[in-house]
Amino acid sequence: MCCLHETDHAASGRGRQSLPAGPAPTSSTWKRCPGSSEGVVIFSVPEGCVHPQSPTGAADVIVGAGLSGLTAAYILARSGACVVVLEARGHAGGRTLTRSDDQGPSVDLGATWSWPHQTRIRHLAQTLGVARFEQYVEGDAMLDLGPQGTERHAVRSPMAGALRSEHGAEALSTRLAVALPAGSVKLGVQVTAVQVQGDTVLVTATGRAGEAKTFHASVVIVALPPRLTGQTITFTPELPSALTQVLSATPTWMGHAMKAVMRYDCAFWRAQGLSGFAVSYTGRPLQEIHDASPADAEAGALFGFFTTHTGVRRAPAQERQHQAMKQLGRLFGPAALHPRSYEEMRWKAGAAVQYRTG
């Protein structure tokens, strides 16, 4: 039978004591499996990467319910494996995060685009029935020169050809999670340690209320940003030093990003022959702006990346919003001053599990 062994801290290991001890683990116990993508480092006991039916009855544990972890879980579950995904935050999706509410169209506070040459994400979107559409790029671009004013240029947005998911990028994560057997994704469980014990792997975690949790796994897939893995999870035996160095040397993509998303009744800039793409020389406060309207353009939306300037990032949120509105008014006219909604997401500060920048 394939099942998850979860115990409280006190009971940790109980019922496992009769397992054969096996050879003493060393750092060479850990294998980085061939085919691991950058975001997914697969650690397994030496027999192989995937144990669809574990001889010990333990589940395949995946750490992190972002797109990588959920995809791994989906593939394993389809092959018949019993999977459990442990997620530190209160919701799945990781850096795909879409705000959908009655304020208007769905908007991405995290990842937005994929590209036509990315065949795996295309296949995933097709499999999950997530429709994609091209980023709107028709029209001129705006340049913000700060005190010197603005300039309009007949320049195409560099995002020409990029694809967006209908209902936002998180739709991919949501559909993956829904496709897993009920209860597979455990939220509010932050993994702190992964330890080989005989022929199983003991995963130690902290629950929402700070309580200790343990899970016995046949295989553990760590699907976290590599640097975060190195910084926050203790491995026993220790990981090989070459791998530790790679983990700490791999920056978390967009880990520093801070976004503002504005929703409007309509994409009024399009009627002015503007694509919604703008760049700011001063980066005060937004340094790059794009159209974020839905595929049917029934409503409008813009999003911008904030500058990394600490003065802007540390300013009170109200002051930052005020500055962003003034900037949008300069670039797109008075209609930009009054969005239906305004929202910010600072990934480092906004994450339940903080991502180191750089």
Ligand X SMILES: Cc1cc2nc3c(=O)[nH]c(=O)nc-3n(C[C@H](O)[C@H](O)[C@H](O)COP(=O)(O)OP(=O)(O)OC[C@H]3O[C@@H](n4cnc5c(N)ncnc54)[C@H](O)[C@@H]3O)c2cc1C
x/- mask, ligand X, residues 46-85, rule CB under 6 A, reads -----------------xxxxxxx----------------
Give the DSSP H or E segment for 102: none
- The Cα 263–Cα 198 span in angstroms is 54
Nearest distance, CB of residue 17 and ligand X, angstroms: 26
Nearest distance, CB of residue 233 and ligand X, angstroms: 6
Nearest distance, CB of residue 232 and ligand X, angstroms: 5
With contacts defined by CB under 6 A, how many residues of the chain interact with ligand X? 34
Nearest distance, CB of residue 299 and ligand X, angstroms: 21
Is position 259 an interface residue for ligand X (rule: CB under 6 A)? yes
Interaction with ligand X in 318-357: which residues (CB under 6 A)? 347, 353
Single out the segment in contact with ligand X by CB under 6 A; choices: 73-81, 90-98, 261-269, 293-301: 90-98
Q: Which is nearer to ligand X, 69 or 283 (CB)?
A: 69
Q: Do the Cβ atoms of 58 and 4 come closer than 8 Å?
A: yes
Residue selected from 36, 54, 112, 327 as contacting ligand X according to rule CB under 6 A: 112
Instruction: Give the orientation angle of helix 67-78 with respect to helix 170-179, to 10 degrees.
Output: 30
| Helix, strand, or coil (residue 84) | strand
- DSSP per-residue string spanning 184-247: -EEES-EEEEEEEETTEEEEEEE-TTS-EEEEEEEEEEE-S-HHHHHHH-EEESPPPHHHHHHH
Single out the segment in contact with ligand X by CB under 6 A; choices: 6-14, 111-119, 146-154, 273-281: 111-119
Q: Which is nearer to ligand X, 81 or 97 (CB)?
A: 97
* Dihedral sign from CA coordinates of 323, 324, 329, 332: positive
| Residue bearing tokens 């669809």 | 52
- The Cα 287–Cα 331 span in angstroms is 12
Q: Which residues bind ligand X (CB under 6 A)?
A: 39, 63-69, 86-89, 94-96, 110-114, 190-191, 223-225, 228, 232-233, 253-254, 257, 259, 347, 353
